[in-house]
Structure 1
Amino acid sequence: MTQQARRRPGPLRALGLVAAASLVAAGAAGTARAADEPLPVTITGEDRVDLSLGSGNGDSTEPQIDLRLDVPGEEFEGEGDAPTVFTGDYTIRIDATELEGVASVDLPCDADGLVATCTGWELYAGQRYNRVGDIRLDLDDDSEAGDFGSIKVTGEGEGLDFTPLNIDVLVGGPEFLNRTLPLPGGLKAGETYKAPVGLRNVGTMPAEGAVLRFHGSRGVSFPDSFGNCAYAEVTTGPLLHQGTDVICTFPDTIEAGAAYALAEPLKVRTADFALRDIFTYSFTAVPPSEVADLRAAKDYRQGDGVDLELEQVSGADPADYSRYADLDLPTTNTYDLELTGASLDAEAGDTVTAEIGFRNNGPAWIGALRSGGEPFSFTVEVPEGATVTKAPQRCREITLAEGEKGYRCMVSTPLLEDAEFTYPFELRVDRVVENAKGEVALPEANDPAEPNLVNNSAWIVLNGPDGQTDGGTGQNGGGGATPSASASPSPSSSSGSGQDGGAGSSGSGTSGGVQGGLASTGAGGAALIGGAALLALGLGAGVTVLLRRRARQTGGAIA
């Protein structure tokens, strides 16, 4: 192996956190620059890969490094071809010669041994469309514990100013697994779970300290404030990303082969509206000295209590540890979805507005955090003798089971515990049919979290007896007879964040709003799905957090 491979830095430099913070700062730079100034381009990708000698290094077909180029400007989100911000030759050079004798390397583009050259012509704002290629690393016959080297990625091109990327590779270093979390029996919303948080170093080398990162989604909080922890609460933006992130540092050495646990269980408090919220944690072998810049970049606040302590434990069962540790808390809360219909009187030729109501009576919100963005739906039948002249934007015409035309209306999730929407349908009465009815209904589902199903359907009634309708609950569905050429909806109150509120709104760019003639108390970005699987998938307890799918050999670090 090479001389570079044998050098064991102490501590290992550039462990990713400082570099990540600098990339954020670089990416935040605006597009304003003089015409004769070079365009700044940042080479991005994983900046550290740990190769395990004992527990495998993942799927051999799955690369650990995704190289891209980050260019200032607003990333293109529309349809069609993304507009270019630069046109001209550029070259990316990937030099992995330091890894000779350390690891085998599979490089992209035009590779000659441990050096590859990638060329390009066009660049786009952001990094989505500026992909360079993937790098896969594996052990080879000469790999030994403590071997270390770097991959250097540089770029050049006239009119461009590249920020290079160094990727540190360590063989057989410290490798942390996390203690699995037992599902608490009978935990109710509003109660506190005491999590037995711990780790095991299954690597071949000790770690120069450890960092614990844990996260709770919107319905989860952490009542303690430890002095060696920093806290960031996210209460704005898409509901999918709201919650609390915490980083705790432990400076003491973590011995190879040893297990550790917090001196006391970590308190995880659930809100009264919580239902299948996510609590997750992971330890990483990152020296605590490298965390300061990450905290500053993400606006963490320092805890003000006693330090959280980590203690070595004996007799730990290796089967109790895995790469990921998370739970859905709690699983026993309930919600109540309700549809309300409309009763309308009209003459032939009149146009009236039927305002269909949808709300969640709580007490739980519907996070659907495991499914990540699929809406659920309800159907609307059109009463006999009427034609829909204008439907809400998120309602589309379909053929119902009976072969008649109707509409399917979409509802985004997460759905707040007090969410309330109005779906206004303009109906033209072509001919008067006494007591003409059209059913409004959620799909049948069997989720114990919603025990009350009697209000999951309602009716639109035209020219019914005494102007009344049974909305499925024996209540008047609302939506009075208001003949008009172009009706406007009545928006509900709004208390959510990142939500499109008024009629005809195109939304604020965050998910969760019901666009086009709707108002709500809030929503977010992940979802629940319709049909028989309405809640079985969207709300079911899963075992894999989507945000951790790209976690690499860093002990399961949580972004």
Structure 2
Amino acid sequence: MSSVSVLRALRRGACAAAVGALAVAGLGTGLAHADEAQTDQLWIQAPYEQAVTVAPADGSAPYRSLALGLYHDNDNFTVTDGRLTVDVSGLAQIAEVAWPANCTPDDAGSVAVCDTGDVPTRYAPQVQLRIRAAAGAAAGAQGAIEYSAEATGGPDGTLVAPDYSAETFVTVGSGPDLGVSAPQDADGVQPGTSLTVPFAVTNTGNETAHGFSVKMWATYGLDVVTRYPQCTYTGPDDDGTYPAMTYVTCSFDTEVAPGATVDLSAPLRLAVTGHALYERFDYEVEPGAGAGDLDGSDNGRSLHVNADNTADFAVHGTEVSGAAGDTVTAAFRFENRGPAWVGNVSSGDPVAVLDFHLPQGTTATSVPDTCRNAWKSGDDPAIGHYACTLPVSAKPDLRVDFPFRLRIDRVVPDATGRVVARPDYGTSFAFDPDTRNNSAEVVVNPSA
């Protein structure tokens, strides 16, 4: 999910169960067996919409940048010689394009083949077009840019992007266009330190913004230190609900003229708390007075802060006894011993999954709501297997019990079940300083 889409999801409240810290999940895992047929796919990255300002009657409209690129899925393949074909014939009399040096246009200047070089598995801009409204194009006029692409590599030697998988609708408009610059992510930050977030608002539109609003979201390990009188601050939630975040809404009456850049009244500072780990600060700006923004692609930004901290996940087992035919309660527990909190801001995945293989000779008659039957081919058919999910975030000192009701079908002395904590994706927790306590035993009828 891109930072913009996450930001929109936060505005809609869709991340109410999906916010915490950053989980990293690669597109290509490299785990495929050598004897399995592998696939790959080439993709075009292009904005779906692009606004340009109407040209003034006595001059030319300013150019805007349009970033494009190619990427592919499977990092087991090396993909080179990317060729992106850009067709701007649909912009006739609406907008005009200035081609960069790595694009070769045809004689009409309406179709160009752009050399993107080696193709990565994660998108990065490789072609920077410049685009502006044509003279005489009225506000509201719209046209489309179409794309196609191919590259060398993949399982068959050539990769081709799916037809019509990307296009950009270009609209001529008039109004303010506010944006904030992208911050630089911070890694290895010591808990207890503070950060200053560059926050300057620039109007690249052709009309003045009569004030602007700002919204901010800070994850649980960040405190918003700077308090502006124009803002309202709520959270973080300390009642155990998810997500635990600080929300800030602001309304500034500062005028932002076309081409102008304004700063907030004081530097925006964040404190990195003692329970910080993988943190995120999102913020966005919109024109005031009910005005629309010409291009929302640069209205919102995300700052990722990775703290130099740890979180000790631990699992505690239990021992129970009973006769054949009895049903007993066997509960195991998950605990975050801290000092950091952990969560999955971007993905919304569970912070951990507990695999529970039942003790021999038992059957689960009742399981917690967050647990499901996870038996799969290769498991012992006589032993039940359940997977229990945690919420998307785990604060320090979080304790979650998983009470299973087990029927003792037959008495097996020292029947031992095993509970193992793991990530939803992957096999280990990179932030955990002691993985020895990531597993525990549930013993039925211990002999001593």
TM class by shorter chain equals 0.5 to 0.7
Q: Which of 329, 340, 344 is matched with 1:368 structurally?
A: 344
Matched, 1:171 2:173: yes
Query: Alpha-carbon deviations, 1:269-325, whole Å to 9, x = none?
Result: 2332233232122232224xx69xxxxxxxxxxxxxxxxxxxxxxxxxxxxx94432
Matched, 1:239 2:242: yes
The 8 Å contact of residues 337 and 397 in structure 2, kept in 1 or not, is answered as yes
SS, match of residue 362 in structure 1: strand
Instruction: Map 1:451-490; keep pairs closer than 5 Å.
Output: 451-466=433-448
Instruction: Map 1:102-113; keep pairs closer than 5 Å.
Output: none
CA separation of 1:50 and 1:387: change in aligned 2, threshold 3 A:
closer
Structure number with greater CO (CA < 8 Å, separation at least 6) is: 2
Q: Counterpart in 2 of 1:200?
A: 202
Which residue identity does 2:403 align to in structure 1? P
Q: TM-score, normalised by structure 1?
A: 0.46
Which residue identity does 2:317 align to in structure 1? G
The 8 Å contact of residues 377 and 411 in structure 1, kept in 2 or not, is answered as yes
Deviation at 1:456, TM superposition (A): 0.9
Q: Which of 371, 376, 380 is matched with 1:403 structurally?
A: 380
Query: Alpha-carbon deviations, 1:224-262, whole Å to 9, x = none?
Result: 3223434344636952274221314142x3232233434
Alignment partners' CA distance in 1, 2:234 and 2:181? 24
The 8 Å contact of residues 340 and 357 in structure 1, kept in 2 or not, is answered as yes
CA separation of 1:270 and 1:250: change in aligned 2, threshold 3 A:
farther
Q: Counterpart in 2 of 1:417?
A: 396
Which residue identity does 2:211 align to in structure 1? G
CA separation of 1:204 and 1:239: change in aligned 2, threshold 3 A:
same
Alignment partners' CA distance in 1, 2:359 and 2:232? 58
Query: Alpha-carbon deviations, 1:181-224, whole Å to 9, x = none?
Result: 12234322332211121132222333333333333233332223
Alignment partners' CA distance in 1, 2:399 and 2:442? 18
Q: Percent identity between the aligned chains?
A: 25
Q: TM-score, normalised by structure 2?
A: 0.56
Query: Alpha-carbon deviations, 1:53-104, whole Å to 9, x = none?
Result: 2548999xxxxxxxxxxxxxxxxxxxxxxxxxxxxxxxxxxxxxxxxxx99x
Deviation at 1:378, TM superposition (A): 1.4
Alignment partners' CA distance in 2, 1:233 and 1:264? 22
Q: Counterpart in 2 of 1:274?
A: 276
Query: Alpha-carbon deviations, 1:137-194, whole Å to 9, x = none?
Result: xx8985447x89xxxxxxxxxxxxxxxxxxxx99232212212112234322332211
CA separation of 1:409 and 1:274: change in aligned 2, threshold 3 A:
same
Query: Alpha-carbon deviations, 1:417-451, whole Å to 9, x = none?
Result: 22111111222222222222111112363442222
SS, match of residue 273 in structure 1: coil
Matched, 1:393 2:373: no
The 8 Å contact of residues 187 and 193 in structure 1, kept in 2 or not, is answered as no
Query: Alpha-carbon deviations, 1:309-358, whole Å to 9, x = none?
Result: xxxxxxxxxxxx94432112343322122111112233333322211111
Deviation at 1:461, TM superposition (A): 1.5
Query: Alpha-carbon deviations, 1:124-148, whole Å to 9, x = none?
Result: xxxxxxxxxxxxxxx8985447x89
Alignment partners' CA distance in 2, 1:420 and 1:269? 26
CA separation of 1:276 and 1:248: change in aligned 2, threshold 3 A:
farther
Q: Counterpart in 2 of 1:435?
A: 414
CA separation of 1:244 and 1:365: change in aligned 2, threshold 3 A:
same
Q: Counterpart in 1 of 2:323?
A: 347
Query: Could you say what the CA RMSD is over the residues aligned between the two structures, in angstroms?
Result: 3.7
Alignment partners' CA distance in 1, 2:330 and 2:67? 56
Alignment partners' CA distance in 1, 2:228 and 2:374? 55
Q: Which of 211, 214, 219 is matched with 2:213 structurally?
A: 211
SS, match of residue 378 in structure 1: strand
Which residue identity does 1:462 align to in structure 2? V
Alignment partners' CA distance in 2, 1:55 and 1:429? 71
Alignment partners' CA distance in 1, 2:410 and 2:240? 47
Q: Counterpart in 2 of 1:445?
A: 427
The 8 Å contact of residues 177 and 323 in structure 1, kept in 2 or not, is answered as yes
Alignment partners' CA distance in 1, 2:385 and 2:310? 30
- The structure that is strand-richer by fraction is 2
Alignment partners' CA distance in 1, 2:344 and 2:307? 12
CA separation of 1:432 and 1:215: change in aligned 2, threshold 3 A:
closer
The 8 Å contact of residues 178 and 205 in structure 2, kept in 1 or not, is answered as yes
CA separation of 1:429 and 1:210: change in aligned 2, threshold 3 A:
closer
Which residue identity does 1:52 align to in structure 2? V
Which residue identity does 2:430 align to in structure 1? P
Q: Which of 167, 183, 190 is matched with 2:192 structurally?
A: 190
SS, match of residue 186 in structure 1: strand
Alignment partners' CA distance in 2, 1:349 and 1:185? 56
CA separation of 1:448 and 1:393: change in aligned 2, threshold 3 A:
closer
Matched, 1:384 2:360: yes
The 8 Å contact of residues 365 and 416 in structure 1, kept in 2 or not, is answered as yes
Q: Counterpart in 1 of 2:110?
A: none
The 8 Å contact of residues 179 and 202 in structure 2, kept in 1 or not, is answered as yes
Alignment partners' CA distance in 1, 2:375 and 2:240? 36
Alignment partners' CA distance in 1, 2:322 and 2:244? 46
SS, match of residue 227 in structure 1: coil
Which residue identity does 2:247 align to in structure 1? T
Alignment partners' CA distance in 2, 1:380 and 1:241? 28
Which residue identity does 1:245 align to in structure 2? V
CA separation of 1:255 and 1:199: change in aligned 2, threshold 3 A:
same
Alignment partners' CA distance in 1, 2:445 and 2:217? 54
Alignment partners' CA distance in 2, 1:237 and 1:406? 29
